[in-house]
């Protein structure tokens, strides 16, 4: 382990102790035998942090450790299988706010990235940043044609710091996977790997620009969601220029109500946007915290969402997408047996799981939440109880679903703020049913056949050649199998011959040994033929015969017809 990693781990441990989190550190099995050291720690006796809730202490510790740990804490807030509920709830309050770097440095980075002075690009450039986060900060600007834009610049020197902290997180994850009893099931190394990938994607602003363009193609002239325009000629890996949007931040609910926004419609449209992205497009905005979502109130009766910051997006494998949709459909119809079957079919729980027992456990978790308004449903607690069921049935957590869980929790928070009486289940059920009909029903089958027709017609003329080739290959395979069978038969016969030789030789040797042991006293000491009984002579002849047969079979040639 590198010295800088060891040093960073020591700093992390020091910060945790200083915030009164020694009990969290010492719960690791590898450290349980030295729990007594907390009683000699000055922070155990004199720190006032112990009067604060555990979750608040964890938030304060992560903020002291730096922006990368803040972002990691934000991700962990969606993983209630990894942390107790009180910690996960507190982590949702983490804000990715960092002291801005100087405007002059921002200008230099823009000019170096674009290759010419900033005045040739922008008629105006605001020195005061609009926002400053751990990865980048944003400035307002105006192009020479009058278009108002925002300029996003990657924070200087951030990559080495990220590399160092990721190395530390990987070390902690490997220790947890090795020494924590839940480690093999929860895959902490994979969790850090997902976080690693997310951070690297956020560092590449060209990728973010491409994500924005992809989302915009999925919602062309949509009344539900607006995506800002990207100025591709001014985008680089560490600089992004996009259209500046004007709307009311989603968190300012008082302003939305004052503007006459129909909050029920706004909440329902949020659910529709989420399910459209996940199931229709299989490409969803996965960083939907309130700071990234605004509302266009020009038509308050039909409000429109505006999204920004597309560094984190998610997509699902087709099999995961289908299983999740079928799970939702089964949940909505209270078909808990089908839910249990889907988990087993997908391999999320072992195939040896007792179906009836698993079905009963799922029913116990899900039944109480139906026919309740959103204000009475906590998806956080719901997911936590599902993870408890998963732990009981050895369900392996799927790291590829982390972003989906995070987005779903964000939707819950938005819905709770906008329209607490929203019934998320009733709102989502028609959408899922329509998706099932479109993807699995007869219309879906006909549509897939139509989409495959060009491919079929293109290769139809090749079918005779392919069939003849396949027949020849099958014939060659048959001949090869026949040769292999003959070789195996020869090997079997050789082994049988060898066993027969060994058997003959062994019997002859045993008989000869018996003869020598029983007849030695009768041997004539003066020479000549020994005075043996008829039985002894027969014994001697039999032993010689068996030895002769064994030696003869050793030189017997192999006959493939035998």
Phi, psi of 125, deg, nearest 5: -140, 120
| Residue of 199, 237, 201, 207 lying closest to 66 (CA atoms) | 199
Which candidate in 22, 89, 238, 287 is catalytic?
A: 287
Can you tell me whether residue 533 is helix, strand or coil?
Answer: coil
| Residue of 411, 399, 432 lying closest to 307 (CA atoms) | 411
Sorted by sequence, the CB contacts under 8 Å of residue 139 that are 6+ apart come out as 103, 106, 125, 126, 127, 128, 129, 130, 150, 151, 153
Question: Mind spelling out the 3-state secondary structure of 235-300?
Answer: CCCCEEEEECCCCEECCCHHHHHHCCCCHHHHHHHHHHHHHHHHHHHCCEECCCCHHHEEEECCCC
Question: Mind spelling out the 3-state secondary structure of 302-325?
Answer: CCEEEECCCCCEECCCHHHHHHHH
Phi, psi of 140, deg, nearest 5: -85, 150
DSSP at 78: T
Active site residue 394: no
Sorted by sequence, the CB contacts under 8 Å of residue 375 that are 6+ apart come out as 416, 420, 421
What b-and-e string marks burial along 231-265, b requiring 16 or more CB atoms within 10 Å of the CB? beebbbebbbbbbbbebbebbebeebeeeebbbee
Report the C-alpha gap between 207 and 195 in whole angstroms: 16
* Enzyme catalytic residues: 287
């Amino acid at each position: 382990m590198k010295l800088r990693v060891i040093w960073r781990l020591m700093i992390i441990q020091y910060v945790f102790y200083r915030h009164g989190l020694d009990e969290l550190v010492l719960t690791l099995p590898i450290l349980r035998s030295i729990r007594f050291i907390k009683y000699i720690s000055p922070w155990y006796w004199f720190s006032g942090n112990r009067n604060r809730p555990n979750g608040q202490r964890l938030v304060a510790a992560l903020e002291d450790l730096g922006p990368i740990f803040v972002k990691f804490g934000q991700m962990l807030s969606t993983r209630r299988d990894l942390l107790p509920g009180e910690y996960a709830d507190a982590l949702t309050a983490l804000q990715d706010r960092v002291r801005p770097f100087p405007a002059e440095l921002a200008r230099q980075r823009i000019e170096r990235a674009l290759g010419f002075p900033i005045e040739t690009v922008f008629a105006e450039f605001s020195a005061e940043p609009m926002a400053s986060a751990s990865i980048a900060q944003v400035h307002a600007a105006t192009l020479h044609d009058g278009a108002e834009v925002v300029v996003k610049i990657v924070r200087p020197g951030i990559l080495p710091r990220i590399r160092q902290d990721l190395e530390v997180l990987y070390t902690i994850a490997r220790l947890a996977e090795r020494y924590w009893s839940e480690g093999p099931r929860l895959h902490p190394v994979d969790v850090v790997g997902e976080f690693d990938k997310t951070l690297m994607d956020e560092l590449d602003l060209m990728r973010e620009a491409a994500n924005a363009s992809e989302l915009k193609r999925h919602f062309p002239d949509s009344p539900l969601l607006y995506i800002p325009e990207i100025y591709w000629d001014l985008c680089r890996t560490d600089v992004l220029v996009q259209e500046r949007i004007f709307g009311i931040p989603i968190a300012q609910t008082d302003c939305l109500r004052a503007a006459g926004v129909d909050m029920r419609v706004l909440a329902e449209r949020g659910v529709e946007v989420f399910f459209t992205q996940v199931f229709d497009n299989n490409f969803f905005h996965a960083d939907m915290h309130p700071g990234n979502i605004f509302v266009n109130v020009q038509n308050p009766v039909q409000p429109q969402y505006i999204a920004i910051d597309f560094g984190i997006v998610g997509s699902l494998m087709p099999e995961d997408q289908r299983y999740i949709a079928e799970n939702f459909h089964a949940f909505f119809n209270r078909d808990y047996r089908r839910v249990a079957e889907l988990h087993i079919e997908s391999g999320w729980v072992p195939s040896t799981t007792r179906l009836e027992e698993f079905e009963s456990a799922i029913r116990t978790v899900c039944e109480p939440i139906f026919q309740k308004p959103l204000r009475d449903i906590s998806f956080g607690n719901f997911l936590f109880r599902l993870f408890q069921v998963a732990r009981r049935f050895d369900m392996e957590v799927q790291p590829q679903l982390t972003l989906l869980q995070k987005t779903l929790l964000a939707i819950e928070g938005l819905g709770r703020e906008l329209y607490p009486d929203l019934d998320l289940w009733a709102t989502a059920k028609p959408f899922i049913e329509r998706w099932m009909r479109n993807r699995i029903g007869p219309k879906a089958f006909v549509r897939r056949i139509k989409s495959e027709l060009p491919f079929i017609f293109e290769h139809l003329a090749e079918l005779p050649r392919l069939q003849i080739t396949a027949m020849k290959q099958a014939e060659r395979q048959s001949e090869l199998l026949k040769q292999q069978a003959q070789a195996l038969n020869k090997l079997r016969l050789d082994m049988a011959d060898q066993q027969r030789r060994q058997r003959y030789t062994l019997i002859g040797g045993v008989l000869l040994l018996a003869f020598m042991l029983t007849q030695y006293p009768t041997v004539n000491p003066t020479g000549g033929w020994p005075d043996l009984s008829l039985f002894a002579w027969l014994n001697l002849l039999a032993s010689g015969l068996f030895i002769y047969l064994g030696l003869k079979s050793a030189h017997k040639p192999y006959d493939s017809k035998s």
